[in-house]
Amino acid sequence: MRFDKLDLNLLVALDALISERSVTGASKQLCLSQPAVTSSLNRLREYFEDDLLVLEGRQMRLTYRAEQLAEPVKQTLALIRSEITQPREFNPATSNRKFVIISSDYMQTVLLADVISEVAREAPKVIVEVVRPSSDSEERFERSEIDISITVKHFLLEKHPAASLFKDEHVLVTWNESKYGNIITRDQFLEAGHVAATFGRDRRPALSEISLQDLREQRRVELLVPSFSALAQSVVGTDRIALMHRKLAEHFRPLYAIRLHPVPMPIAPIEEVLQWHRLRTRDAGLQWLKNLIIARSEATFNQRIDRSNE
């Protein structure tokens, strides 16, 4: 379809090219061949009478015109996805829709696993894809490619609505045959070898690790693991210590030979929140899934959900 002589299919290619700044990256995102994406780029250059992407050294750089187009194109596609391509009606018993949720393995373990079981019972044809937070999560959310993001309040996107789910505190976890008693002192904490979780190719630290930045020079991290769930297993058979969310540590306590201890210094609790795109408030399917997650959180943690931001 053309609008003012512009093939609207090219907007999808332009959005991918702008976000990836690479024909190769855009082709992977769009599941198209590189020659096909190159052809789209050439047509876009002809229409806008601008190079859009130019090669500088080994990297592509956006032209000023491409930078101007980035936000309008992103918002246009988000509006189309939310208001045009998604049906107003939603019947969970018959829908074959796919929902994409951003969630850490922590939230998948303590909450989403039960939600997904409910989805299977109520909506047997619905597909749920859970993806981990990554460096491009915000971009995908803004393009409305993500239905729901479950994250900590610290990382909320301000212009989109959200609902608080629950709060959790931190505990220390050790092997139950380690040298430590019930209480671990600050000195013991600093002297111990630690297990810490990092995420993605850029090895982003967890919020709890960011909270310990002041102790970075004194604390000795001996093992890095790629998930929260790996922390409990990784201390078994050692005298290492891991800092974990209490709800996750309690989930793993019956499965691994671990002991839970108070943290010997103040660390602020985390608050988990559910967030959705501001253009998706009338999406009946998204509202159904959101309400399912909220209801399960209330039932599991016996905490009333804050709906003030909806």
**pLDDT band at 5, cuts 50/70/90?**
low
Residue ranges per domain, the chain?
A: 2-83, 98-166+272-301, 170-268
170-268 architecture in CATH?
Answer: 3-Layer(aba) Sandwich (3.40)
Average pLDDT, the chain: 88
Rounded CA separation 165/110 (Å): 12
Strand pairing class (193-199; 241-245): parallel
Rounded CA separation 300/284 (Å): 24
2-83 — its CATH code? 1.10.10.10
Give Cα separations from 195 to 72, 146, 280 (angstroms).
44, 31, 39
The predicted-structure confidence for 160-217, as pLDDT tens digits, reads as follows 999 999 999 999 999 999 999 999 999 999 999 999 998 877 677 778 777 777 776 6
Q: Report yes or no: 40 and 10 within 8 Å, Cβ to Cβ.
A: yes
**pLDDT band at 308, cuts 50/70/90?**
very low
Domain 2-83 matches domain 170-268 at the CATH topology level: no
**pLDDT band at 30, cuts 50/70/90?**
confident
Tell me the CATH class for 98-166+272-301: alpha beta
